Structure 1
Amino acid sequence: MTKGMDLRELALAIMMEVTQNGEFSNKVLNQTLSKYQYLSKQDRAFLSRLTEGTIERMIEMDYIINQYSSVKVNKLKPVIRNILRLGVYQIKYMDQVPASAACNESVKLATKKGFHNLKGFVNGVLRTISREIENIQYPSKVAQPISYLNVVYSMPEWIIRNWLEEFSFDTVEKMLQVSLSERETTIRCNTNKTTVEELRKGLKNQGVLVGDGAYVDEALRISEYDSVQRLYGFSDGLFQVQDESSMMVAHAAGIKKNDFVIDVCAAPGGKSLHVAQMLEGTGTVIACDLTQHKVDLIKQNVERLGFTNVEPRVQDALELEESLIGKADVVIADLPCSGLGVIGKKNDIKYNITPEKQEDLAKLQRDILHVVSKYVKQGGTLVYSTCTVNKEENLNNVQWFIENYDFKLESLEEYLPERFVKREGKDSTIDKGYINFIPGIYNTDGFFLARLVKK
């Protein structure tokens, strides 16, 4: 058993990488877990919960610290700031950690990191918070709705204001609630190698909790496991981790046998592989991405799942490949975006994106669409998608595209899974050719897709 102190020191190192060096939290956490593979399942779970939870609720942690600290959070030394954040998270959200242990271990950590002179400050702030944790005053939901959402759900105010222009307060709150809730992992069964029932059985035999997908027949929802790579069927390519909203792309594309398909921003390859699965060994999928590193990720998944009709290729989506002009039955353009639909899985996205970056991304999406639309043959299909929910990167771009290019939206009804179409209500947009998967309304990540056909 690793000492609790060591785990907290690892958590602090991860926090410093993310908050000071701008690294992605999931990347740093995965690297840490990979480096310390000897950690027990319990220790890995503790480290993951502590780091992910603290980052996820960082705005709330800072709000609480500011109420009880004589020095405001943004004036604190970065190491002390992160030690306090980790300490408050343990006190507020980790019931299995006694408040006294959270305080004592935080003080030890401050001393170990060379801040012996501040151990009294750390101890005083955390002990006061542990006494007052049930009495903390949050902004009023009625009188200060934006501040309330900002603090309670740790979401930057500009994103909240942006969403409230498009969605109701209740919808925005649902989206934020989902972003902080624990969710199962969604996997797509590789039906070219096994059946959904066989995969379910193998995973259950391993002690994994397995449920049905909400909308897609080839989807399963899993939980109560340690590592995806160690699961039954992973190394044999029996499944791919993929959200159901993302699975809808291959369905929306209306894949037919022998289709020639180009996926222009494909890494790590989930949609390309789903298309290959639907092609049942026929046709070709050109799976492109910008760097060799990203294309290597696609290759790993292609080899693991065992497809021979996928061709991974390094290709900049902004550079026209003349040999592909007018050749594709289907182009999949799942483009770089702000990622605000997957905040629940990548909890530091919300701190890194800015209004200026979002504007730049919307322009980049248009620039890519200008190029890749040329690959679609007459009567062919372009599926445009993003893992975000805001109009600037989604519907506005689609409207711009059909106004400027020889494409039209086409109804999705005959392409999407039957049980999904049946559950759609009167407000559905699938007959118009697009859908915005709003977390909390749909049981998926936030995601947008549109089916565009070349006239």
Structure 2
Amino acid sequence: MRLHRNLCFAVIDGLYKIFNENEYADKVVQSLLKRDKRWGSRDRGFVAETVYEIVRYKRLYAEIANVKEPFDRDNLWRLFAVWATLKGIRLPDWKYFEGTPTRKIKGRFDELSKTRKIKESIPDWMDELGVSELGEATWSKEIEKQNEQADVILRTNTLKTTKKDLQQRLASEDIETEFLPNHPSALRLKERANVFRTETFKDGWFEVQDASSQLVADFLDVHSGMKVVDVCAGAGGKTLHLASLMENKGQLIAMDIYESKLKKLKVRARRNGVHNIEMKAIDSTKPIKKLHGKADRLLIDAPCSGLGVLRRNPDAKWKLQPEFIESIKQTQKEVLEQYSKMVKDGGKMVYATCSVLPSENEKQVEQFLNSEAGAPFKLIKDKKILAHKSGFDGFYMALLEKKSN
């Protein structure tokens, strides 16, 4: 591979914003990809994948390069040189790479790779937490898998098409996909591509949604004509899936504390041909109280650490703090206790997270069932998904039923 100056400069600029200005990697990459209209898909792919790879392995590369934060541009070029050397890419005769100790880099990599927290490039506290919650063997496999690039998975919008027809139409736009076993609406891209530019996407035939995430709406056991509430809807990936499972019939209430996210859902719903969604911002306790005892089904896609989706958000490793994990567990407890009151007698709810930590998952459910608010509920089933076993995002979901009086 030959390195091109303008692409490499884009990578360095992106890393500077992520590491030194605390910007989110996905937003930075989106911005970088619009930088030069002459770039082809291979150029854009190089910029995006290189930025993500260096963010993923920041600690390892910094230890090898012997540089410390905050990184100035010279330090970022050193990180880049480590990445290129380990990839077997020949460094060009540029001033930024003068004196790069290629042989020493490979030796340091072999030496440092014996220590998991450096090899997998995570903070000390995160490594300790993972071991304490999952055990050495499971955590080692899971964090290694979380450093791999995630597949692009699509969810068929069954309100508009079938999975087979979607596959054929995408093929006509030069995007090859394959079916996934045990995921009724999922297609996996054989090669990465910008699917958002396709006419198929603009016509609302699919959404991009990981295979594990697609299991959550199915888990809730919804039917046409029900009153269903998605109480942490965000931009509505799971809400739209619920709408398709309900065949656009019944009432689907999407709620979130961020009105801006619900506005994005409105745009997505229009494209998807969904018209049974009512959106409500949670700006006080009133919207919740109005729905007490009214919901046939309730989805609580709870705020969490996101330790199951680090493949998609590698910069989260560096933004997360141990005190956040503790505070989010308290939030989860409160959300379960308050929002569960919306479920009617005989109704069901799903508590879900994209975390792999038992303390955010089965232990939260156990704690809830032992509380006053959880007394009327019983656990029907739960599902733990680890990335190293499934090949997809780490997730947890529990289906609970409210006993009839």
Normalising by the smaller structure, the TM-score range is over 0.9
2:251 maps to 1:276: no
**Runs ≥4 in structure 1, deviation > 6 angstroms?**
none
Which residue of structure 1 aligns with residue 134 of structure 2?
167
The 5 Å alignment of 1:130-279 reads: 130-136=102-108, 137-139=110-112, 141=114, 148-279=115-246
Task: Indicate the residue corresponding to 1:34 in structure 2.
Answer: 34
Tell me how far 1:37 sits from its aligned partner: 4.2
Residue 73 (1) aligns with residue 68 (2)? yes
What fraction of aligned residue pairs are identical, expressed as a percent?
28
- In structure 2, the residue matched to 1:19 is 19
Residue 210 of structure 1: CA displacement?
Answer: 1.0
Query: Could you tell me which residue of structure 1 aligns to residue 64 of structure 2?
Result: 64
* Post-superposition offset of 1:259: 0.8
Structure 1 letter corresponding to 2:227? F
**Conserved? CA contact 1:341–1:387, under 8 Å:** yes
User: Could you say if the C-alpha distance between residues 140 and 81 of structure 1 is closer, same or farther in structure 2, counting changes exceeding 3 Å?
Assistant: closer
**Does the Cα contact within 8 Å between 2:251 and 2:277 map onto a contact in 1?**
yes
Secondary structure, counterpart of 2:264 in structure 1: helix
Q: CA deviation at 1:315?
A: 2.0
In 1: Cα distance, 2:293 partner to 2:378 partner: 19
Q: What is the CA deviation profile of residues 342-379 of structure 1, one whole-angstrom value per residue up to 9, with x for unaligned ones? A: 00111111111111110001111112222211211111
Partner of 2:390: 442
CA distance in 1, matches of 2:306, 2:285: 20
2:16 and 2:71 in contact (8 A); partners too: no
Preserved contact between residue 407 and residue 452 of structure 1 (Cα < 8 Å): no
SS of corresponding position for 2:111:
coil
Equivalence map 1:345-364=2 (5 Å): 345-364=312-331
Q: TM-score, normalised by structure 1?
A: 0.83
* Cα distance in 2, alignment partners of residues 318 and 21 from structure 1: 36
Instruction: Say what the alpha-carbon RMSD is for the aligned residues.
Output: 2.1
State whether residues 175 and 193 of structure 2, in contact with CA within 8 Å, keep that contact through their aligned partners in structure 1. Answer: no
Corresponding residue number in structure 2 for 1:321: 288
**Structure 2 unaligned regions, length at least 5:** none
| TM-aligned CA distance change 1:35 to 1:283, over 3 Å | farther
Does structure 1 residue 49 correspond to structure 2 residue 24? Answer: no
Shift of 1:275: 0.8
Following the alignment from structure 2 to structure 1, what is the Cα–Cα distance between the partners of residues 154 and 262?
Answer: 21
Deviation at 1:164, TM superposition (A): 1.6
Matched, 1:309 2:288: no
- Change beyond 3 A, Cα 1:241–1:407: farther
**Structure 1 residue 297, shift from structure 2 partner:** 1.5
What is the Cα deviation at residue 178 of structure 1? Answer: 1.6
- The 3 A distance-change label for structure 1 pair 409 and 34 is farther
Tell me which residue corresponds to 1:83: 77
Q: 1:77 to 1:203 in 2, by over 3 A?
A: closer
Please give the per-residue CA displacement for 1:160-187, whole angstroms capped at 9, x wherever unaligned: 2222223343322221222222332111
Contact 1:317 1:372 in 2 (8 A): no
What CA deviation, in whole Å up to 9, does each residue of 1:69-96 have, x standing for no partner?
xxx424x753222221122112212x4x
- SS of the aligned residue for 1:233 comes to helix
Check the 8 A contact 2:65/2:105 in 1, yes or no. Answer: no
**What do the CA deviations read for 1:315-351 (whole angstroms, capped 9, x no partner)?**
2587653221211111111011111100011111111
For the Cα contact (< 8 Å) 2:167–2:176, is it kept in 1? no
Alpha-carbon distance in structure 1 between the residues aligned to 2:285 and 2:50: 40
State the Cα deviation string for residues 237-287 of structure 1 (Å, max 9, x = none).
111111122122111111022111111111221111111101112111111
- Cα shift at 1:7: 1.8
For the 8 Å contact 1:336–1:365, the answer to whether it is kept is: yes
Alpha carbons 1:342, 1:387 under 8 Å: kept: yes
Aligned position for 1:396? 363
CA displacement 1:163-214 (0-9 Å, x = unmatched): 2223343322221222222332111111111111111112223332311124
Measured in 2, the distance between the counterparts of 1:312 and 1:214 equals: 33
Deviation at 1:156, TM superposition (A): 1.9
Q: Distance in 1 between matches of 2:171 and 2:123?
A: 40
Which of 377, 391, 401 lines up with 1:408 in the alignment?
Answer: 377
- Give the aligned residue type for 1:305: N
Q: CA offsets per residue over residues 38-89 of structure 1, 9 Å max, x none? A: 42112101111211111011111011112xxxxx424x75322222112211
> TM-score normalised to the size of structure 2?
0.92
Question: How many correspondences in the alignment?
Answer: 399
Q: Distance in 2 between matches of 1:407 and 1:340?
A: 30
